[in-house]
């Protein structure tokens, strides 16, 4: 199948990208490995930031300042400025396609405060903002004739003479590998917080598939050490309790009913406060009782339903026990300000991309804004690239290689339990490479990941059926998760400081002199990574190489340094 533009990912970023790529009359397809409503965007409930009324309590300059300050020294000021300036127009555009934001009594858009700012800047639809936006964008995409390829798992990028020619895809209906040719490719396939299985708000399928494929294709990753933990998730499931609750006035207390932290500080600080309190022997709860039944039913209906179904707690009159869980991966594919990557005609946006607006810590409400803003830019620039390009041949030797890999996983003898391995990986990452880190714990995590890699040969399907084989998908995702986990840990080891969501107990201070710059990860071979720290200019031009490390993966007990 031939497409001018293929978009991998059906969240807000991918759908915006597809719509803007379609404006030039291109043949556009959106690829998603499951149902579009399983995207991270669809379950993002809190809201989207924008300064609507500059005459009242807020200003675009303050939005810029809050975002830049929240990035802990790694944000790109000019990029942040452009995104914040465009935010009101994005809200207007969403309204024009049918998104119905909650309104105040005078008919203006209602806004709530989120962490990192005391301003009421977050536009919302109760506590189901992401799903409402995704629904309208999907309807618009279908109306515009964009093809939605659901249940197609992206595998790898195909190249001809080292140039983009298309992608390989696993068709889930029959487990066959197929190839799609394209002139431009937009990667918008979400993040990797799902690798913390059992300790994540994400679905397990959010294992960094797109990011791992980009690394294999020779693209650089950036800031892989920065994973944001959401401070308020259900204790036993990791299910997200939206920041909307705290924005409406919910407080955090311990088993004595005492408040011990500032609920509207940035997520990294709040997560550390909560986990530290737990490690000291306390339980932690979200208290929404003072909001009253009417406010909860109007503004937090999904939160109440989730607490009832998942924890058996009615938040109208009961405390809800909470804990931090991995929520958002700030690291990902390196992009320039135009969303271009290291490979010509390949663009990236959304959570899988490092755009420069989050730096080392993301403010709540900025992710949906970032997704829409950079989705537009990716769609526009992918369209421009189409005009300068021809279709290149697909290397069917690569397609055959992918097919053999799938056949081996399907046909071999299953030696290990994939679900146990995924859960064990999540437990180790949370304990040793989570909210708190130190060299010894990171080395423990790296050793365990290396062990899992050495055992991954024994992962085969118990169920040999080809039709919609869920086990096959899980195994392919897990192998990508191991690549992502390794990249994250290696970057965390080499960033010997604490900054934003990356907190090293053995290096508790921020070190601007040596580490006041983004990190890069490049795969030099299957067993060799290069980690660099590099400065940048406003236009994202990278220069001044310092702290260059060649890191050999060790699977035989040798040093990782």
Active site (catalytic) residues: 267
Task: Compute the Cα dihedral for 378, 384, 389, 391 and give only its sign.
Answer: positive
DSSP for residue 456:
G
For residue 148, CA distances in Å to 3, 9, 14, 500 come to: 12, 10, 11, 37
Residue 234 to residue 311: CA distance in whole angstroms: 8
Closest CA to 16 of 188, 213, 132: 188
What is the separation of C-alpha 556 from the centre of its chain, rounded to a whole number of angstroms? 32
Strand positions, DSSP E, 398-453: none
Q: 392 with 165: CB under 8 angstroms?
A: yes
Residue 411 to residue 74: CA distance in whole angstroms: 47
Closest CA to 35 of 203, 253, 157: 203
Residue 510, both tokens? 């921020």
If phi over 0 gives left and psi between -120 and 50 gives alpha, with beta otherwise, what is residue 292?
Answer: left
Phi/psi of residue 490, nearest 5 degrees: -60, -40
Using DSSP's 3-state secondary structure scheme, residue 321 falls into strand
**How would DSSP label each residue in 127-165?**
T-HHHHHHHHHHHHHHHTT-EEETTEEEEEEEEETTEEE
H or E segment to which residue 78 belongs: helix 77-96
- In the chain the first and final C-alpha atoms are separated, in Å, by 46
CA dihedral defined by 268, 273, 278, 280, rounded to 10 degrees? 140
Q: 135 with 264: CB under 8 angstroms?
A: no
Pairing relationship of beta strands 221-222 and 519-525 according to DSSP bridges? antiparallel
Residue 113 to residue 102: CA distance in whole angstroms: 14
Q: 160 with 395: CB under 8 angstroms?
A: yes
Task: Compute the Cα dihedral for 181, 186, 189, 192 and give only its sign.
Answer: positive
Phi/psi of residue 347, nearest 5 degrees: -120, 155
Q: 483 with 212: CB under 8 angstroms?
A: yes
Count H helices, E strands: the chain? 16, 20
Task: Compute the Cα dihedral for 217, 44, 381, 99 and give only its sign.
Answer: positive
Pairing relationship of beta strands 221-222 and 227-234 according to DSSP bridges? unpaired
Give the residues across from 222 on adjacent strands: 332, 520
Residue 472 to residue 461: CA distance in whole angstroms: 6
């Amino acid at each position: 199948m031939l497409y001018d533009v293929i978009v991998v990912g059906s969240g807000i970023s991918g759908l915006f990208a597809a719509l803007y790529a379609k404006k030039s009359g291109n043949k556009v397809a959106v690829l998603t490995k499951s149902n579009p409503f399983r995207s991270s965007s669809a379950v993002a409930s809190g809201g989207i930031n924008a300064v609507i009324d500059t005459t009242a309590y807020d200003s675009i300059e303050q939005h810029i300042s809050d975002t830049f300050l929240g990035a802990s020294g790694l944000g790109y000021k000019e990029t942040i400025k452009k995104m914040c300036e465009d935010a009101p127009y994005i809200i207007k555009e969403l309204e024009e396609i049918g998104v119905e934001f909650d309104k105040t009594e005078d008919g203006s858009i209602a806004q709530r405060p989120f962490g990192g700012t005391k301003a009421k800047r977050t536009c919302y639809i109760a506590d189901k903002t992401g799903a409402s936006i995704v629904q309208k964008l999907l309807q618009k995409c279908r109306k515009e004739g964009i093809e939605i390829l659901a249940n197609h798992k992206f595998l790898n990028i195909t190249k001809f003479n080292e140039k983009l020619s298309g992608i390989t895809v696993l068709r889930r209906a029959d487990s066959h590998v197929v190839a799609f040719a394209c002139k431009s490719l937009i990667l918008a396939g979400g993040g990797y917080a799902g690798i913390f299985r059992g300790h994540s708000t994400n679905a397990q399928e959010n294992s960094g598939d797109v990011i791992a494929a980009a690394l294999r294709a020779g693209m650089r990753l950036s800031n892989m050490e920065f994973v944001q933990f959401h401070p308020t998730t259900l204790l036993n499931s990791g299910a997200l309790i939206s920041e909307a609750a705290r924005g409406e006035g919910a407080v955090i207390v311990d088993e004595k009913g005492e408040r011990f932290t500032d609920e509207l500080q940035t997520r990294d600080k709040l997560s550390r406060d909560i986990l530290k309190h737990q490690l000291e022997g306390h339980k932690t709860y979200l208290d929404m009782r003072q909001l009253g039944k009417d406010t909860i039913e109007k503004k937090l209906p999904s939160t109440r339903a989730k607490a009832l179904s998942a924890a058996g707690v009615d938040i109208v009159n009961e405390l809800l026990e909470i804990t931090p869980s991995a929520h958002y991966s700030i690291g990902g594919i390196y992009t320039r300000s135009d969303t271009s990557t290291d490979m010509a005609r390949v663009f990236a946006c959304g959570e899988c991309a490092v755009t420069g607006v989050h730096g080392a810590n993301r403010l709540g409400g900025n992710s949906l804004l970032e997704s829409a803003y950079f989705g537009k830019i990716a769609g526009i620039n992918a369209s421009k690239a189409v005009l300068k390009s021809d279709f290149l041949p697909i290397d069917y030797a690569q397609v055959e290689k992918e097919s053999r890999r799938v056949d081996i996983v399907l046909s071999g003898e299953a030696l290990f339990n994939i679900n146990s391995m995924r859960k064990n990986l999540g437990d180790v990452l949370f304990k040793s490479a989570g909210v708190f880190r130190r060299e010894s714990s990171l080395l423990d995590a790296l050793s365990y990941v290396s062990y899992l890699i050495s055992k991954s040969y024994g992962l085969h399907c118990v169920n040999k059926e080809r039709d919609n084989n869920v086990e096959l998908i899980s195994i392919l995702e897990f192998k990508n998760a191991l690549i992502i986990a390794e990249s994250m840990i290696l970057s965390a080891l080499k960033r010997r400081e604490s900054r934003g969501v990356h907190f090293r107990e053995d290096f508790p201070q921020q070190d601007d002199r040596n580490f006041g710059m983004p990190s890069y990860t490049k795969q030099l071979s299957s067993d060799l990574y290069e980690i660099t720290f590099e400065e940048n200019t406003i236009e994202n031009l990278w220069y001044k190489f310092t702290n260059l490390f060649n890191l050999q993966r060790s699977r035989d007990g040798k040093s990782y340094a």
